[in-house]
Structure 1
């Protein structure tokens, strides 16, 4: 029943957050390096012209370190901007100085950043507290990405620390997964259920 799944997801969110907060700074840095190396090496990233990223904060991967590499590679980068009603939009970002602080604490594009439609974006990097082998995602519960991804037809990718990577996560009908889950040691998803060889 949905109520049971909802309760299970709430408990998993608390457990995943506690696990992530328990990682040392060095553990997070080592994890970030491995995740970013694999992400930048993905052929889907190489083929994408416009990408939606997120500005990692707190226990999330420090994704802002990806920005310069992708800009140097000639990529156009967007970041999400929160809207009323738990909605979001993607706005083009050409420099981090154009970001502003949202009341929730994260950095997001300002009104001066051009808005892009989902159809204009080739690949979206999707955040989450935990992911599973089939691309299942455990978000923070706001539903922002589920609503935006419902209208997105490009490639979806997640960066997941091995410490919060599960064989299977509970899902409700409206929960949308991702095409590819990148961990420190492998690549997973509906078509990638076998981990890559170390160093691949």
Structure 2
């Protein structure tokens, strides 16, 4: 197994490490979803922007029975951004390989969302997210006033990641070991 990069390593180095580690991890979707369910109930969340899992990410789709889940669509023009849509409309495969809503799916305003579940390649203990490099969540989060929850396998929760000024940390982190509020 690859050794953890230093905090001053480049984001591409961190991404390569995270992909290698994640490829060897077991599926932790069930315990992660159970921890998310408890946390979202505790927070009183009803409408939640989730994500359609890529290979190796914890699948959170089981939350759809209790919460109104929304699915993001990555748009590239006129500038990269995410739009939010009803969960059930995610029927086409995106260029990243996850299901997403089609371009004409009804949109849901961000200010009606209670919580955002953030996927990532890794998170650090301060809630900083290592994403895939597209900056989609980095553009969405500054306008969001609800709760942000980083969803990650415990093996990909590290002491410290490189951080750019636009990297807004998650308020909560959820792994197969449970939910922890970021201090």
**TM-score per shorter chain, which class?**
0.7 to 0.9
Aligned length: 176
- Tell me by how many angstroms 1:113 deviates: 2.9
Q: TM-score, normalization: structure 1? A: 0.80
Deviation readout 1:108-162 (Å, 9 max, x if unpaired): 1124432112111111111100011111111011100110111111101121101
1:89 correspondence with 2:91: no
Are residues 162 and 185 of structure 1, via their aligned partners in 2, closer, same or farther at CA, if it must alter by over 3 Å? same
Q: 2:12 aligns with which of 10, 20, 29?
A: 10
- Tell me by how many angstroms 1:48 deviates: 1.4
Q: CA RMSD in A?
A: 2.1
Describe how 1:59-78 pairs up with structure 2 within 5 A.
Answer: 59-67=56-64, 69-70=65-66, 75-78=67-70
Higher helix share: 1
- Tell me by how many angstroms 1:35 deviates: 1.0
For the residue of structure 1 that corresponds to 2:148, the secondary structure is strand
Specify every segment of 5 or more residues in structure 1 that has no aligned partner in the other structure, as ranges.
192-200
For the residue of structure 2 that corresponds to 1:34, the secondary structure is helix
- Tell me by how many angstroms 1:186 deviates: 3.8
Question: Does the CA contact (< 8 Å) of 2:125 and 2:159 recur in 1?
Answer: yes
Q: 1:105 aligns with which of 97, 100, 112?
A: 97
Structure with the bigger RCO (C-alpha within 8 Å, sep 6+) is 2
Instruction: Find the aligned partners of 1:41 and 1:92 in 2 and give their Cα distance.
Output: 22
Specify every segment of 5 or more residues in structure 2 that has no aligned partner in the other structure, as ranges.
1-6
1:173 correspondence with 2:131: no
Query: Residue 48 of structure 2 corresponds to which residue in structure 1?
Result: 51
Structure of greater Rg: 1
Q: 2:149 aligns with which of 145, 154, 157?
A: 157
Q: TM-score, normalization: structure 2? A: 0.86
Question: Does the CA contact (< 8 Å) of 1:132 and 1:167 recur in 2?
Answer: yes
